[in-house]
Amino acid sequence: MPKTTLTISSKNYSSWSLRGWLLCAMSGIPFEEVPLALDDPAARAELLLLSPSFLVPCLRHEGCDVWDTLAIAEYLHEQNPQCGLLPADRIARSRCRSVSGEMHSGFYNLRSALPMNLKAHYPGFKVWSGAQADIARVVEIWRMCLTESSGPFLFGKPSMADAMYAPVCTRFKTYDVKLDPLSQKYCDTILSWPLLQQWTEAASLEPDELDELDAEF
């Protein structure tokens, strides 16, 4: 049987690669990583928000290529519905898909103003007003889900939605975004998630840098 692979770009900078990797790790399907160099045109376009469609990450499984993060999530759920990517409850499952889709298609101001950079930390960072509106909406989503589920993850146990919002938690840490206690507790849960810690440790060992995303303050 052909091996399962996930093509990713930088672990330090690529939020979409992180999402795809978390989804694959949660699925229970063994896979191998295929990293793209930062000088690869597809990787740079994705990291710098210059591509209208993201071809990274890309999952290859049993002859099937899946390259959109939501499509990867749905595909992995189909392969192993018991892995927990989507909640068992119909209403929770619908909400999980909705909040995941909202992250997938929105929040451009947050992405551009607070690019993912796991190695960096900017205490007292000034977040401009356009990104503040996105932050407020993210917090609203988190509080809604956590109130319904009682946490510690958005739908009680790790799901597709947590994979989609995990990079936001890293951004909030990098740029010192102040949060209410419930939202901060969720961020702490995600940042201490063993899967995210595994990814972050690997990111710390990457030698590559992307000057466009390494702002100096």
CATH number, domain containing residue 26: 3.40.30.10
Helix (H, G, I), strand (E, B) or coil at 75: helix
Ordered DSSP codes for 124-186: T----HHHHHHHHHHHHHHHHHHHHH-SSBTBBB--HHHHHHHHHHHHHHHTT----HHHHHH
Identify whether the C-beta of residue 86 lies closer than 8 Å to the C-beta of residue 78.
Answer: no
167/193 Cα distance (integer angstroms): 12
* Residue-averaged pLDDT of the chain: 90
**pLDDT tens for residues 42-81?**
665 655 554 445 578 999 999 999 999 999 999 999 999 9
- Number of structural domains the chain divides into: 2
Does residue 214 belong to any structural domain of this protein?
no
Q: So what's the pLDDT on residue 52?
A: 45
Do both 114 and 184 map to the same domain?
yes
Do both 73 and 105 map to the same domain?
no
Does residue 27 belong to any structural domain of this protein?
yes
Q: So what's the pLDDT on residue 40?
A: 65
Let me know if 180 is exposed, middle or buried by CB neighbors in 10 A (0-12, 13-18, 19+): exposed
Last residue of a domain, one of 45, 63, 83: 83
Does residue 158 belong to any structural domain of this protein?
yes
Q: So what's the pLDDT on residue 129?
A: 86
Mean local confidence (pLDDT), 198-206: 95
Do both 95 and 54 map to the same domain?
no
Q: Which residues pair with 66 in a beta bridge?
A: 59
Percent of the chain with pLDDT over 70: 87
Q: So what's the pLDDT on residue 213?
A: 54
Residue type, position 57, single letter: P
Mean local confidence (pLDDT), 176-204: 97
Does residue 50 belong to any structural domain of this protein?
yes
Instruction: Report the helix count and the strand count for the chain, using DSSP H and E.
Output: 9, 4
Q: How open is the CA angle 10-13-15, to the nearest 5 degrees? A: 95
CATH number (domain holding residue 170):
1.20.1050.10
2 CA to centre of own chain: 27
Last residue of a domain, one of 26, 57, 83: 83
Mean local confidence (pLDDT), 136-156: 98
Last residue of a domain, one of 35, 58, 83: 83
Do both 193 and 110 map to the same domain?
yes
**pLDDT tens for residues 90-123?**
999 999 999 999 999 999 999 999 999 999 999 9
Does residue 38 belong to any structural domain of this protein?
yes
Does residue 211 belong to any structural domain of this protein?
no
- At 182, phi and psi to the nearest 5? -65, -45
168 vs 208, higher pLDDT: 168
Mean local confidence (pLDDT), 159-171: 98
Do both 99 and 78 map to the same domain?
no
Range of the domain at 105: 90-199
